[in-house]
Structure 1
Amino acid sequence: MMKRRPVGVEEEFLVVDLQSRRLTPLAESMLERLPDEGFSAELQRSVVETNSTPMEDLSDVRAEIVRLRQALVAAGEPLGVGVIAAGTTPNTGIEGYTFTPGERYRYLSESYRFLAEEQLICGAQVHVEIDDRDVAVLAAQRVEAWLPPLLALSASSPFWMNEDSGYASSRALTWQRWPTAGPLGPFADAAEYDRTAEDLVASGVIKDAGMIYYDLRLSAHVPTVEMRVCDSCPLADDVVLLAGLFRALMSREIEAVERGEPPTGEQRLALLRAANWRAARDGLEGELMSPVTSRPEPAPRLVTWMLEELRPTLEELGDWEIVSELANEALLRGSSASRQRGAFAVNGRAEDAVDLLLAETRRS
């Protein structure tokens, strides 16, 4: 019987003034109204993060995500602010560019300059528990080829600096500028992974192992693999979908590694990067590269095919019904990027796209 591994979710949210619909540096004021557990600050004072308790059942994962979101909304309302779960905001405003106090954030702002200044982006990270770090490294490298469809499902950042970027996920492109971002490996085992992290710290390029920003990374503190490619998603159901798909991918490849089977997906770095770029540009409304052949396929067709490929694993985990239903709903409504562009197009107002994001983020 396949092990049902606990799943945890981190979500980042942009804090916006409910009157101007622009970013506002009031995350710290919100955090003062919230418990320490489950909520934290980020580099920019207009961004706040939630951290869920790891759960095995996807219904419980959803309930936890909704609970944390509702707490954020309740903390913001007396301050006249709301939160949006999106990779970027359609309506930035100069007020959002304020660094959070603290030694670490000061180091980031001084060492990385405009990378830190433009870190007004939000992601959704999913953690899957696995005790064997050697197996985790090998399985994660096999999963990488299957991540671009997950990025496409999450794409929610068509706007960058108040303009249409031409991408479904401008966040993904912005994030890739960090020196340790991008595909994982190749690594033969956890020891090689750890040596590389140590060498990067020793080089002075990064301060510590917490700045390893691979698309998939091993935690330095807990036995998990973390997926870092996705935009924040305004709809909680889309986060649950990503969690279910990622757990299934990791579970399948963990067993394949333990059986000594060869990988089925693309392993070449250049093609992995190209596939991620294609997903960031097109989202669900264009074409994605097949994780097996690297040839372009319409995004909905590829997501549907991937779902069928994962069906045996999802059924064994007890997740097929919820994941397949959520995937079909996501494909029917299209990406958040498309919905935001549609809201903007009605009257040419960025505020209308922000209102859409506020409403979807509040929806339970």
Structure 2
Amino acid sequence: MGVEEEYLLVTPEGRPTAVAPTVLWHAAQEDSAEPTSPDEPGGDLEKEFKREQVETSTHPRTDLGELLDEIRAGRERTSAFARLAGAEIAALGTAPQEVESTVVPDKRAQEIRARFAMTAKDQLTCGCHVHVEVADDEEGVVILDHLRRWTPVLLALSANSPAWQGGHSGYASYRSQVWGRWPTAGPTAPFGDAAGYHRVIEELLATETILDDGMVYFDARLSARYPTVEVRVADVCLDAADAALQAALVRGLAETAVRGDSDLPQPRAELLRAATWRAAHSGLSGNLVRPTTGTPAPAADVVAELVRHVGKALADAGDLEWVQRHVATVLRRGNGAIQQQAWRAEGADDDEVVRRAIARTTAPH
């Protein structure tokens, strides 16, 4: 499994700043001095759609503790390069301030900006993507069809974007609402098998609505780059350990799917879309839609149901105790959205929220 994280680039005072090219230049100097193996994916610092953000990734890991260590190291490394450009990084799903973001000087990105207009203009959002290795596309689709009902719970755990363009959005994850404007974003119907999955992609491309298969923005998809399932529903997490929790739960879902440990009926995509909206709206602060019944229940109960669902897989991987302990921590202190709102209650303004997020992004524990 591996984790990709997107971070906001901000000034030390807490304002978004368009310095991604400079940050990436500094990273490239180190990489040229100490080249890594091209055969091993991950570990890179890469551009994103906007110049006010960058993306980092881990190497593939089997041990959860090693993955968490690398997530933290990646944040520290990215922070160091940002400081060389006079900036800091903040693991926030959206910037709280009103900001005019800028598209990177890349031909494909500029074409997306021109074609998708306001949707592209507003896309200064930061997510967390989890990859889990699969044997082949058939196994990957088994996993996709199994975990789709649980993606709203993953979103609720990660929700970290309550503010938008200088105001409170009324959502725990407004990033997911902005991201959902893309034509392929969001939950999907079951694919059935690999042929069914690839047929959907071919039909989407045939509409000429999206540029290429890199614009398949499903909440969970087969990766176009790696032999993995990529779960893309989460906000970037304020705390590094919360990102590791996402990875552990996704791997648990994948293993549970491959074992055939569940025969629950598939929810319709319309119901899954409603459950995803509800998770984005209330996060961990209210009710979620229970994936097994389609009825509302307190968020803590639904999260506990997810942990029970993947409990055997977590135990076999040696992750169960850590996941149970960290889930209890998240439910006690709240996800990023709850923490941001607590800072607001203490009197923090937009810039102060970002400054506190800077400190939390690279906190050692």
TM range (shorter): over 0.9
Return the letter of the residue paired with 2:132: V
Please give the per-residue CA displacement for 1:175-230, whole angstroms capped at 9, x wherever unaligned: 11110112233322111211221221222111111111111100123211000100
CA contact (8 A) 1:265 1:291 kept: no
Q: What is the aligned partner in structure 2 of residue 324 from structure 1?
A: 324
CA contact (8 A) 1:151 1:230 kept: yes
1:45 correspondence with 2:79? no
Return the letter of the residue paired with 1:292: T
Deviation at 1:91, TM superposition (A): 2.2
CA distance in 1 between counterparts of 2:335 and 2:95 reads 15
CA distance in 2 between counterparts of 1:79 and 1:47 reads 13
Q: What is the aligned partner in structure 1 of residue 226 from structure 2?
A: 222
1:29 correspondence with 2:33? no
Deviation at 1:348, TM superposition (A): 5.3
CA contact (8 A) 2:23 2:84 kept: no
Q: What is the aligned partner in structure 2 of residue 193 from structure 1?
A: 197
Moved more, 113-122 or 314-323: 314-323
Structure 1: gaps spanning 5 or more residues: 1-6
CA contact (8 A) 1:266 1:294 kept: no
Q: 1:238 to 1:191 in 2, by over 3 A?
A: same
Q: What is the aligned partner in structure 2 of residue 350 from structure 1?
A: 350
Deviation at 1:278, TM superposition (A): 0.6
Q: What is the aligned partner in structure 2 of residue 204 from structure 1?
A: 208
CA contact (8 A) 1:13 1:122 kept: yes
Deviation at 1:77, TM superposition (A): 1.9
Q: What is the aligned partner in structure 1 of residue 34 from structure 2?
A: none
CA distance in 2 between counterparts of 1:64 and 1:189 reads 34
TM-score (norm 1): 0.93
1:79 correspondence with 2:79? no
CA distance in 1 between counterparts of 2:284 and 2:191 reads 31
1:300 correspondence with 2:300? yes
CA distance in 2 between counterparts of 1:29 and 1:198 reads 37
Deviation at 1:359, TM superposition (A): 1.0
CA distance in 2 between counterparts of 1:262 and 1:238 reads 26
SS of alignment partner, residue 297 of structure 2: strand
Q: What is the aligned partner in structure 2 of residue 130 from structure 1?
A: 134
Please give the per-residue CA displacement for 1:326-347, whole angstroms capped at 9, x wherever unaligned: 1111111012111111212322
Fraction of identical pairs, as percent: 39
CA distance in 2 between counterparts of 1:342 and 1:156 reads 12
Q: What is the aligned partner in structure 1 of residue 12 from structure 2?
A: 18
Q: What is the aligned partner in structure 1 of residue 40 from structure 2?
A: none
Deviation at 1:262, TM superposition (A): 6.3
Q: What is the aligned partner in structure 2 of residue 3 from structure 1?
A: none
Runs of 4 or more, structure 1, over 4 Å off, are none
CA contact (8 A) 1:266 1:293 kept: no
CA distance in 2 between counterparts of 1:51 and 1:309 reads 28
SS of alignment partner, residue 274 of structure 2: helix
Structure 2: gaps spanning 5 or more residues: 32-42
